[in-house]
């Protein structure tokens, strides 16, 4: 890889949209994606990697456009049969999507690492970028709430984000190691991008992998983050509610504070231009532009803004 590569830390839906745009601005082969696996989950013994799958399906043009996750046109009769057996079925797994989880679990049981398994699945669907899980071990994000300690997916999907959040933690992350391939990706890169993803449950787990922050800092590369909050609201997901309940400002400023010391450049939406000075006060360069990716042109324009000049 030439030194024109980009490493992107990515959550699910927002990150995937951004990656579609970035892949039109630089060749996709030059993009190394570090995917969050903190939202990984086990259903009937199957290993589900929602964010890795959302990135894969989106870049492959197979994602459900209405949901932003899962496979377009998928059907759910396997889930209906599972329900008849009494299996917990609040997590919607479509028939085609289940094939991915069956195959991933099978390969993991054969002894392959999650990085290799993810690469094989990505190759199957023609991804030209390199997709790496943040770690190969299982380090699920837990949400301590006023209704108990929940797996992230229980909080997000089963409880529909209703409980009040008291704490977010990344279980077993201290024992995890970053995936092979990341140092090489960084060695050929000219920039690290933190995609517009929830800082607590998408980017937080990636940065919590031991050595990750040091590796980014020691790379000497500019680290550019895109705010996932616009006008104090997340376009998708519970970022604003979670930040507020944990005592952070539910705004681009709150996100910038969480990324202080990691990102030196921050992209915020035009609706938030009043926050520019405060974020600059954190020692970050700030760019104000449209960050709402409604269509393909918006995605490309945002990727161009991120890539500079700064």
Residues that bind ligand FO1 (CB under 6 A): 11-12, 39, 48, 50-51, 53-54, 69-70, 91-93, 97, 153, 156-157, 202
Q: Minimum distance from CB of 240 to ligand FO1 (Å)?
A: 15
Q: Minimum distance from CB of 24 to ligand FO1 (Å)?
A: 23
Residue number with CB closer to ligand FO1 (32 or 202): 202
Q: Would you tell me the crossing angle of helices 50-59 and 13-25 to the nearest 10 degrees?
A: 40
- Pairing state between β 31-35 and 5-10: parallel
Q: Minimum distance from CB of 236 to ligand FO1 (Å)?
A: 8
Q: What phi-psi label fits residue 70: left (phi over 0), alpha (psi between -120 and 50 degrees) or beta?
A: left
Residue number with CB closer to ligand FO1 (55 or 193): 55
Hey, what's the torsion of the CAs at 66, 67, 70, 74, to 10 degrees? -50
Residue number with CB closer to ligand FO1 (32 or 58): 58
Residue 252: asked if its preceding bond is cis (omega within 30°), the reply is no
Q: Minimum distance from CB of 13 to ligand FO1 (Å)?
A: 7
Closest Cα to residue 55, out of 113, 1, 93, 12? 12
Closest Cα to residue 11, out of 69, 62, 90, 60? 69
Q: Would you tell me the crossing angle of helices 95-109 and 77-85 to the nearest 10 degrees?
A: 70
With H, G, I as helix, E, B as strand and everything else as coil, classify residue 227: coil
Residue number with CB closer to ligand FO1 (163 or 188): 163
Residue number with CB closer to ligand FO1 (40 or 265): 40
Q: Minimum distance from CB of 122 to ligand FO1 (Å)?
A: 14
Q: Minimum distance from CB of 271 to ligand FO1 (Å)?
A: 23
Residue number with CB closer to ligand FO1 (156 or 303): 156
d(CA 301, CA 24): 10
């Amino acid at each position: 890889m030439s030194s024109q590569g980009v490493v992107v830390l990515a959550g699910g839906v927002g990150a995937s949209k951004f990656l579609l745009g970035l892949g039109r601005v630089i060749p996709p082969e030059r993009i190394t994606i570090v995917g969050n696996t903190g939202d990984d989950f086990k259903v009937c013994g199957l290993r589900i990697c929602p964010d890795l799958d959302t990135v894969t399906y989106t870049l492959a043009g197979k994602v459900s456009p209405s949901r932003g996750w899962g496979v377009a046109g998928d059907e759910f009769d396997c889930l209906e049969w599972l329900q008849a057996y009494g299996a917990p079925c609040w997590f919607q797994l479509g028939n085609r999507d289940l094939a991915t989880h069956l195959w991933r679990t099978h390969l993991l049981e054969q002894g392959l690492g999650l990085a290799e398994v993810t690469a094989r699945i990505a190759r199957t669907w023609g991804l030209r970028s390199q997709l790496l899980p943040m770690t190969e071990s299982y380090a699920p994000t837990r949400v301590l709430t006023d209704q108990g300690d929940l797996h992230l997916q229980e909080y997000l999907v089963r409880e529909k984000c209703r409980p009040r959040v008291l704490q977010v933690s990344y279980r077993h992350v201290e024992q995890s190691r970053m995936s092979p391939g990341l140092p090489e990706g960084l060695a050929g890169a000219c920039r690290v991008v933190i995609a517009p993803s929830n800082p607590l449950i998408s980017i937080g787990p990636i940065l919590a992998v031991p050595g990750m922050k040091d590796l980014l800092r020691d790379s000497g590369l500019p680290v550019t983050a895109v705010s996932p909050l616009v006008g104090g609201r997340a376009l998708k997901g519970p970022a604003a509610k979670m930040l507020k309940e944990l005592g952070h400002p539910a705004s681009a400023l709150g996100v910038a504070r969480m990324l202080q010391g990691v990102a030196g450049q921050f992209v915020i939406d035009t609706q938030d231009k009043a926050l520019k000075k405060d974020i600059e006060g954190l020692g970050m360069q700030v760019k104000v532009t449209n960050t709402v990716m409604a269509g393909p042109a918006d995605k490309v324009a945002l990727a161009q803004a991120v890539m500079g000049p700064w």
